Amino acid sequence: MSNNQTRSNMRSSQRNYYVQGNVVRKAAPVRRNEAQIRRVEHAARKNRDKARYMNLGYVVFLTAAVLLVAVTLLGYLKMQSELTTSIKTVASLERELNDIKLSNDENLDRINSSINLENIKKIAVEELGMTYAKEGQVVVIESAGSDYVRQLKSLQ
């Protein structure tokens, strides 16, 4: 026999006996009359009926809780859908930006390859009369970190 069965048998055997002075006597079984049994059955039936019954306030509370959860869930799903749509839109715009950058780089390469610097130099010197700067004609101006320098008076 296991320990649990032994303990159970000891408990049930302890219930059948009682101590009176220094003598252990066998306890007489407790008999319930039918009135007591009916009262217990009636109380049990009442408790079962109470457990089945839900009053209006409880039903309203449960309905409100379910509606709140449903509204929250629908809001979450809507936000999730908007986020997915936004991510797709951003990805589409990034692809478009990359295509435009690629096209711009190709156009810049095409323009740079079509420029003939020797031809420009020949036209500048021969047709426009331009010459190279001589010593003393180049003035270096220190920049204070800006991208351009504004000339406020003549350098000569």
Stretch 42-57: mean pLDDT: 78
Q: What's the rounded Cα separation, in Å, for the pair 92 and 86?
A: 10
Instruction: Cite the DSSP H helix spans in 55-116.
Output: 56-114
Instruction: Place 113 in a pLDDT band, splitting at 50, 70 and 90.
Output: confident
CA distance to 108, 112, 123, per residue, from 118 (Å): 19, 13, 9
Residue 131 lies in a domain: no
Tell me what pLDDT residue 97 has.
Answer: 97
Residue 6 lies in a domain: yes
Q: What domain range is 25 assigned to?
A: 1-53
Residue 153 lies in a domain: no
Residue 156 lies in a domain: no
Q: Higher confidence at residue 70 or residue 118?
A: 70
Q: What's the rounded Cα separation, in Å, for the pair 110 and 102?
A: 12
Residue 32 lies in a domain: yes
User: Tens of pLDDT along 10-39?
Assistant: 444 445 665 666 766 666 665 667 777 777
| Structural domain count of the chain | 1
Residue 3 lies in a domain: yes
Q: Higher confidence at residue 152 or residue 115?
A: 115
